[in-house]
Every structure is written in structure tokens, then in C-alpha cells.
Amino acid sequence: MALMLLTPEATTLKRCAFDQKQNNLKTTARTAMHDLVVLAILLYICYCVIQEKKVDRAAERHRADPRADYRGHRNYHRPSHNHRNEPR
């Protein structure tokens, strides 16, 4: 039995089996990378859609009341200094 494992045919069969395992691992790794890339693309698309909805909501709020975004700011009630030095 031990001598059969050393024959060239057995060595070739072992090498073929090893190559097949390596190919399976490469295919599995390639598939996993492909899945990760697809998942990353889908997550990016979801992120973009969520950001777009946030921008739309902010624009809608601004259209309803343009000063609403600045109400909580510390300078909201102070007069504008843009025209301070204009002659009357």
C-alpha cells in the first residue's frame, strides 16, 4: 500500500486533487470578494438615498420658513451689521 502512494500516477492524482482544492479556494475567495463589493455598492446607494432625503427635507423646511434654520443661533436676535456704516 505504501509503495502505491509513491507511484507517479498516485503523485499526479494527489497533485490534481491539491490543484482542485486550490482552485476551489480561489473561486471561493473570488466569490466572497465579489459579494463584498456588491454589498459595499448597495450600502453606498442606500447612504446616498438617505442623504438625498435629508437634503429634500431640509429644503422643504427652508421653503416653509426660511429663518427657521437660524432661530437657535446665538446671533438670531441681534441686528445685522452689514449696513452699520451706511449714510442715511
**Residue 71 is assigned to a structural domain of this protein:** no
- What pLDDT digit, counting tens, does each position of 30-40 carry? 899 999 999 99
Whether the pTM exceeds 0.85: the reply is no
All three cell numbers of 29: 475567495
Q: In the block, which residue shows the cell 432661530? A: 71
Residue 5 located in a structural domain: no
Of 20 and 7, the one with more pLDDT: 20
The answer to whether 62 touches 69, Cβ cutoff 8 Å, is yes
Q: Is the residue at 38 inside a domain?
A: yes
Q: What pLDDT does 37 receive?
A: 96
pLDDT of amino acid 68: 66
Tens of pLDDT, residue by residue over 49-71, are: 999 998 888 888 777 777 766 66
Does residue 41 belong to any structural domain of this protein? yes
Residue 55 domain-assigned?
A: yes
Residue 53 lies in a domain: yes
Number of structural domains, the chain? 1
Residue 49 lies in domain: 14-59
- 23 in a domain, yes or no? yes
Share of the chain above pLDDT 90, in %: 26
Q: Is residue 82 part of a domain?
A: no
**Distance, CA of 34 to CA of 47 (rounded, Å):** 20
Does residue 1 have a pLDDT over 60?
A: no
